[in-house]
Structure 1
């Protein structure tokens, strides 16, 4: 039995991208059609994911999905899948018994982002730097948003293999003189500074507060969007420096991940924050942090970097997999539930 046959799921297929803050759904009626999208909802507005699916999807269309592919922000382990940054718990067996699905596959949210970058059209990406077009080769996607997602994408045997993980929780440390002034004031998590403590919404505020404390200034901002807005406009010196350091640290981490995966196919920035700060990412700090990887600086200069601008990238990636599962190497073991007949 081929992998493609094992992975094929019956249409119509409900596709879901469940993050810490927002949930996005669409239905793919068949292999050739375009997905029918539903309004994006906030996870906090519904007590459970099942309630969201009932009210947003099932009550909003006459099409009855036979199967579901859900990308969730959190590790997938067992029949009850806890999301990292929201209160929802995904229970595939309950979805089958109560929502009428025959088949449910749950993948990591950044696995879906990795699927999306396998064939992202040029109009849905913004280039950072001048490294040129991506090769058909290993790639990396990073997404600063509510949290920080990281995934790899390998190319072998004419197929794409997403590599999900928890790379957003690696350690980061100070390098520059300014870093050493700021880092003692950063809020750690259980005694350490992880990438996600800096490179997400709360990370923006963490950096901003640390800068204010290092400078002996009372912090005036407490919401990530305010820090970003004041930083982009240059209306607040500490907010502007926060944005500069944020893109520097993001560039350093992106470069680290590019080295780990030898990502000659490019590094892609997804997540809610990346699209909002494109002007800052196009400044010199991001690529400087990305390329400063001696003894491999020259190699790093050849690796392209992009911001993903597709409004529903994860859904698009899942739809690509649903249409042609044989083009992707996705393991379904322990992540797929079927109706017992």
Structure 2
């Protein structure tokens, strides 16, 4: 029996975390964080980790990349990085390799996270074996469906953050025009991300004849003292509810909706007071239907790593016919 660990990595727009896992269990002591700006590409990050930690070659390696993945090639959206299976195996000396979009990894993690790391935002029915929906809000935005089929878990890739921003009010139309002027296209991610919250704050300042700009962390820290910060978060939360509601109608996740990502965790305590549930259910004659969806938030920062480990474990089980 091959008892070597898996190597797993979560590649974000700013940092990359790399660790080791035994089966679906990630060893938190093995996890190291690397600043992407210090490396030319992902390969050198993975080689640095192997050089620093030593040990036997991993029996498998899986990365979760914050960007599109197609035909075994991943491209990081917010940095000029790319990697394919061959390069992944060469960098890690692993016996096999797999590449996932970061939200796909979060989908593979469902059911394998500690119960205390999942908190309910909006209760509702949860149908066993029904599709689920994972919505990620962090450096960027994305959403994926999760299906548990007889042949195994299926998590199709998606790039939902680059869809058009849904507009309902005159003020939102002005925001959309502002974003289109600055970026050429007003996408969901332009508002529903850490940088998006900063853009909303700056736009509100411009609307008031000022030009203030603030970091997302500072906006969140000053909600009690800065009325503009509260207004920015309220618009952000309202838009998040509307987009999540649209995605729920598209995918019908009767197994539940799960919010993940650093920004989702940061705003989760303000969702109810800022009108998230009202916006989520604001679908006219379908408002009652929207009560069919429970919504949770994942507070485990290593969830994508767990998802990578679970994916490799499932592949190994399918290969050797055992769990």
Does the TM-score normalized on the shorter chain lie above 0.5? yes
Equivalent residue for 1:92? 85
| Shift, 1:181, TM fit | 4.9
| Shift, 1:260, TM fit | 0.9
**The residue matched to 2:184 in structure 1 has which SS?**
coil
Match for residue 264 of structure 1 among 254, 265, 271: 254
User: Aligned partners of 2:233, 2:40: CA distance in 1, in Å?
Assistant: 34
* Per-residue Cα deviation, 1:304-336 (whole angstroms, up to 9, x for no partner): 1111111201111222222233889xxxxxxxx
- Flag structure 1 segments of 5+ consecutive residues without an equivalent: 1-8, 329-341
User: Aligned partners of 1:40, 1:134: CA distance in 2, in Å?
Assistant: 37
Q: Does 1:221 align with 2:210?
A: no
* Per-residue Cα deviation, 1:76-131 (whole angstroms, up to 9, x for no partner): 24576331112332243234345423322111111101112245443111211232
Aligned-residue CA RMSD in angstroms? 2.6
State whether residues 15 and 27 of structure 1, in contact with CA within 8 Å, keep that contact through their aligned partners in structure 2.
yes
Number of aligned residues: 316
When normalised by structure 2's length, the TM-score is 0.87
Aligned ranges 1:205-220 → 2 under 5 Å:
205-216=198-209, 218-220=210-212
Match for residue 113 of structure 1 among 99, 102, 106: 106
Equivalent residue for 1:161? 154
State whether residues 125 and 309 of structure 1, in contact with CA within 8 Å, keep that contact through their aligned partners in structure 2.
yes
State whether residues 69 and 157 of structure 2, in contact with CA within 8 Å, keep that contact through their aligned partners in structure 1.
no
User: Aligned partners of 1:32, 1:197: CA distance in 2, in Å?
Assistant: 34
Q: Does 1:45 align with 2:35?
A: no
Aligned ranges 1:1-341 → 2 under 5 Å:
11-29=4-22, 31=23, 34-35=26-27, 37-77=30-70, 81-97=74-90, 99-131=92-124, 133=126, 135-157=128-150, 159-187=152-180, 191-216=184-209, 218-230=210-222, 233-325=223-315
**The residue matched to 2:278 in structure 1 has which SS?**
helix
State whether residues 126 and 254 of structure 2, in contact with CA within 8 Å, keep that contact through their aligned partners in structure 1.
no
Q: Name which of structure 1's ranges 235-244 and 89-98 shifts more when overlaid on structure 2.
A: 89-98
Q: 1:94 to 1:157 in 2, by over 3 A?
A: closer
When normalised by structure 1's length, the TM-score is 0.83
User: Aligned partners of 1:68, 1:161: CA distance in 2, in Å?
Assistant: 19
User: Aligned partners of 2:317, 2:228: CA distance in 1, in Å?
Assistant: 47
* Per-residue Cα deviation, 1:233-253 (whole angstroms, up to 9, x for no partner): 321111111101111111111
Q: 1:187 to 1:33 in 2, by over 3 A?
A: closer
Equivalent residue for 1:3? none
User: Aligned partners of 1:96, 1:58: CA distance in 2, in Å?
Assistant: 15
Q: 1:134 to 1:246 in 2, by over 3 A?
A: farther
